[in-house]
Amino acid sequence: MRLSLTQISLTAVVALSVLFSSSTVTVSAAPAIRPVSYAGHRVVRINIQNQAQLDALTAHEESLQLDYFTHYKVVGGNVDVRIAPEHFAEFQALNLDYNVSIENLQSTIEEETQENDAYQTKFEKARKANARTPGQVFIAADWFAGYHTYADHQTWLSTQISTYPTIASSFSAGKSFQNRPQAGIKIGSGPNHVVFHGTQHAREWITTMVTEYLADQLLKGTDTRVAGYLQKYTFHIIPIMNPDGFVITQSSNRMHRKNAQVNGGCVGTDTNRNWGKGWGSPGASTNPCADDYRGPSAFSAPEALNIANYLKSLPNVALYIDIHSYSQLIMTPWGYSATPPPNYDSFLKPLAEGAANALAAVNGVQFTTGDIYNTIYPASGNSADYAYSVGVKLPLAVELRDTGRYGFNLPAAQIVPSGKEFWAALAYVLDNLGV
C-alpha cells in the first residue's frame, strides 16, 4: 500500500530531527525502509552543573540542531540529546560535562532493523501455521517477540476482538491528521472506566507492545483477579495514539516524535504539549521545528483533541495512563506547575509509589515516582494534566525502559519483561484505587 504524503514533504533539511528525503511513504511488510540516516549521530548525556552551562546549552541548541531525547534542562539535571556529526566539534567547544550513550545512532537503528527483519520472517511463518486453527492467527509468544507494522497492529486488534466477542469490542477515539483511526479495544463491562494508550510519541515503539501486552493479559487471564477487574472496570485501550507519526517512524524517519501536521515548513506537533490544561505555560516550545512544539493553539492536533473528547464522554473514569518511553518513571500531575495537586501526598503519590514497588518486585527494575514537573521536567499541555482537570481520579504519565542504554531502540527481548513488570504495576493500581 502506498500512501501519499506530498502535503507534508519538506523543501529543505528540517531543523532538530524531523527530516524526510522523499514525498511519499511506503508501508512495507516489515519496518525496514529508512531514508533518513543517522550515521555518525551521537546520543550524549549532558550533566548540567551550573547556570552558565545551562545558558550555553540553551543558546546553542538551534545552531547545533539538537534533538532532545529527554528534556530535563535544569541545573543539577541530566539531559540526553542527539547531535549530528557536523555539529559535534561546535558542541565540544562549549566545554559541557557529558558522556556518550550511543556512539553511532545509525548502527543502533540498523541492529534493530536486522533483528526485526529476521523476526518478521519467523513471524510470518508462524502466522501462516497458526491461521489453520480458528482464533489462533496471533499467538502471544509469537506476537510479543518483536515489533510490528502499523497494518499488523490493526489486524492484531481486529483478531482479538473477533476471538473474544463476549468481553471485547472495537472503538475508535477519532481520526488522525492523515485520517487514520485511533483504533482501540474495549474490554470488560464494569461501571468504572480505565483509559490507556501507547505511542503518543511516535518513536517510542515499546509503548505499543506493552499496551497490547496489558490488553492480552485482560483478554486471556483466567484467574479470579482478572475476572474481578472485568466486572469492576471497563478498559479502553488504544495501542497507537499517534498513527501518522508511527507510520513515519517505520517508513521515513525512525526518530520522528510528533504527528504529521505541517507547521512553518516543519512536520509535526508534539501532541503531548497540545492538550488544553496549562497549554502555553513553560515546558513546551513555540518553535515549529522543535520536537516539543506545542502547536499554534491548544488542541490544534486532532489526535489530542479526539482522546480528550473521548475521555470527557465517559462517566467515572478512575484511571488514565499515557504510556511513554524512556526513563523508568511513574508520574502524576502536574506538569505545567511546580505545585502538585492538593491530594498529591494523600492519594496520587502513594499509588504511584506502590505501583513502582510492585513493578520492581517482578524483575528488580527500579522506577522513580513523583509529579511530572519536579520529577522529569516542566511539560505544559500534557495529557495527564488534562485528564486530572476533567475529573479522572488517577492520571499517570509513565516512562518505560530503559534509562538510556538503548533509548528508543529497546531490543525486542525486553518487550515481554517490560510487559510483565508493568502488568504488576497496573494490577496494584486497580486493586488500590478505592472505587
- Architecture of the CATH domain 131-432: 3-Layer(aba) Sandwich (3.40)
Q: Are 211 and 219 in contact (CB under 8 A)?
A: no
The bridge status of strand 329-332 relative to strand 368-371 is parallel
pLDDT at 18 over 80: no
Among 115, 36, 88, 108, residue whose Cα is nearest residue 404: 108
Q: How far apart are the first and last CA of the chain?
A: 46
Cα within 13 Å of Cα(185), Cβ side: 29
Q: What is the pLDDT of residues 84-103, one digit of tens each?
A: 999 999 999 999 999 999 99
pLDDT at 16 over 60: no
d(CA 118, CA 252): 20
Report residue 34 as a C-alpha cell. 529508512
Q: Are 384 and 288 in contact (CB under 8 A)?
A: no
Query: Cα torsion at 413, 153, 323, 109 (round to 10°)?
Result: 50
**CATH 3.40.630.10 residue window(s) in the chain:** 131-432
pLDDT of residue 2: 30
Instruction: Indicate the residue type of 359.
Output: L
Q: What is the pLDDT of residues 195-230, one digit of tens each?
A: 999 999 999 999 999 999 999 999 998 889 999 999
pLDDT band at residue 72 using 50, 70 and 90 as cut-offs: confident
d(CA 81, CA 100): 10
Active-site positions read 399
d(CA 5, CA 248): 10
pLDDT of residue 137: 64
Q: What is the pLDDT of residues 102-159, one digit of tens each?
A: 999 999 999 999 999 999 898 888 878 877 665 566 777 799 999 999 999 999 999 9
Choose between 27 and 301: higher pLDDT: 301
Q: Is-above-0.85 flag for pTM? A: yes
Q: Print the SS3 string covering 274-286.
A: CCCCCCCCCCCEC
Express as a percent the part of the chain with pLDDT over 70.
91
Q: Assign a CATH topology to domain 42-103.
A: Alpha-Beta Plaits (3.30.70)
Q: Are 118 and 147 in contact (CB under 8 A)?
A: no
Report residue 315 as a C-alpha cell. 462517566
What letter does residue 14 receive in the DSSP assignment? P
pLDDT of residue 6: 30
Q: What is the pLDDT of residues 288-329, one digit of tens each?
A: 999 999 999 999 999 999 999 999 999 999 999 999 999 999
Q: What is the pLDDT of residues 259-288, one digit of tens each?
A: 999 998 899 999 999 999 999 998 999 999
pLDDT of residue 134: 58
b/e map of 118-147 (b: 16 or more CB within 10 Å)? ebbeebeebbeeeeeeeeebbeeebbbbbb
**CATH 3.30.70.340 residue window(s) in the chain:** 42-103
Listed in sequence order, the residues at least 6 apart from 284 whose beta carbon sits closer than 8 Å to its beta carbon are 270, 273, 292, 293, 294, 379, 380, 381
Lowest mean pLDDT among 136-140, 146-150, 341-345, 374-378: 136-140
pLDDT of residue 25: 30
Cis preceding-peptide flag for 402 (omega within 30 of 0)? yes
